A and B are shown apart, each in its own frame.
Chain A
Amino acid sequence: MKRRELIGGALSLAAAPAFAQSGGFDWRRQDGQTITLMFNNHPWSQAMRDMAGEFTARTGIRTRIEIFNEEQFRARLTTFMQGRSAELDVFMTLASREGPVFRKAGWYADLAPLLADPALTAPDYEATDFAPSIQGANVFDRQVVAVPINQEGPLFYWRRDVFERLGIPEPRTLEDIPAAAAVIKAREPGIIPWAARGLRTAIPYAFVGFVNNLGGSVATPDGKPGMSQPGSVKAIEMYANLLKEYGPPGALNHTFTQVIELLGAGRVAMVHESSNEFANIMRFPNRANDLGVKILPPGKESGISKPAAIGWGIAISAHSRKQAAAWTFLQWATSKETQAKLVSAGVAPPRASVFKGPAFDAWTAELPIRRAWAEALVQLGREGSGVFQPPTDRIPEAREKIGDAVQQVVLGRATPAEAARMADEELAKLQ
Chain B
Amino acid sequence: MKSLRNSSRSGTSYRWMVAPALLFAGVMIVFPFGYAVWLSLCEVALGQPPRLNGGANYARLAADPDFWNGLRLTLWLYAISLVAQLVIGTWLGLLLARTRRARGLIRTILVSPFMLPPVVIGMMAIVILDPSFGIANWILAQLGLPPRLWLSDPDTVILTVAAIDTWQWTPFVALIVMGGYLSLPGEVFEAAEVDGARGWQRFRRLTLPLLGPTLVTAAVLRSVDLLRFFDVIYITTQGGPGTASTTLNILAYRRGFEFFDIGYASAIMVTLSALVFGSVLVFARLRRAVTW
Measured CB to CB, the residues of B under 8 A from A are 45-48, 130-133, 147, 149-152, 154, 234, 236-238, 240-242, 253, 256-260, 262
Contact = CB atoms under 8 A, between A and B. Distances in A.
A396 B46 CA distance: 15
A253 B242 contact: no
B176 to A, nearest CB: 33
Contacts of A250: 130-132, 149-152
Nearest to B137: A249
9 contacts: A102-B46, A105-B47, A107-B46, A248-B131, A249-B147, A249-B149, A252-B152, A253-B152, A408-B242
Given A107-B47, A407-B241, A201 B132 contact: no
Contacts of B260: 78, 101, 396
A251 B46 contact: no
A74 B45 contact: no
A92 to B, nearest CB: 16
A404 interface: yes
Contact of A397 (B151, B234, B259): B259
A396 B260 CA distance: 9
A411 B133 CA distance: 22
B46 A82 contact: yes
Best-surrounded residue of B130, B151, B154, B260 (most CB of chain A within 10 A): B260
B262 to A, nearest CB: 7
Contacts of B257: 71, 74-75, 78
B154 A411 contact: yes
The secondary structure that dominates the B interface is: loop
A82 B262 contact: yes
B100 to A, nearest CB: 45
A252 B241 contact: yes
A107 B260 CA distance: 13
Interface residues of A, number: 36
A291 interface: no
A411 B147 CA distance: 18
A200 B240 contact: yes
B47 A104 contact: yes
A102 B154 CA distance: 34
A201 B150 CA distance: 20
A249 B260 CA distance: 32
A267 interface: yes
B258 A106 contact: no
| Interface of A, helix, strand, loop or mixed by DSSP | helix
Interface in A396-426: 396-397, 404, 407-408, 411, 413
A192 B132 contact: yes
B46 A101 contact: yes
A354 interface: no
B24 to A, nearest CB: 22
A201 B152 CA distance: 15
Nearest to A76: B257
Contacts of A404: 242
A110 to B, nearest CB: 14
B150 A252 contact: no
B48 to A, nearest CB: 7
A262 B132 contact: yes
Nearest to B262: A82
Contacts of A397: 259
Nearest to B153: A250
A201 B250 CA distance: 14
Contacts of A82: 46-47, 262
A199 interface: yes
A142 interface: no
Given A102-B46, A249-B149, A396-B259, 9 more contacts: A71-B258, A75-B253, A82-B47, A105-B47, A201-B258, A248-B131, A250-B131, A404-B242, A407-B242
A253 B46 contact: no
Contacts of B45: 104-105
B242 A200 contact: yes
A394 interface: yes
A249 B152 contact: yes
- 9 residue pairs, one from A and one from B, having the closest CB atoms: A105-B47, A250-B152, A249-B131, A105-B46, A252-B241, A250-B131, A75-B257, A106-B47, A253-B152
Nearest to A78: B257
A262 B132 CA distance: 9
Contact of A411 (B47, B151, B236, B242): B242
A78 B262 CA distance: 10
A81 interface: yes
A261 B256 CA distance: 31
A404 B131 CA distance: 22
Interface string A240-264: 0000000011111100001001100
A407 B253 CA distance: 21
Interface string A178-215: 00000000000000100000111100000000000000
Contact of A396 (B150, B236, B258): B258
Given A81-B46, A107-B47, A397-B259, A253 B237 contact: yes
Contacts of A396: 258-260
A248 to B, nearest CB: 5
A155 B21 CA distance: 59
Contacts of A192: 132
Contacts of B242: 200, 252, 404, 407-408, 411, 413
A75 B238 CA distance: 14
Contacts of B234: 71
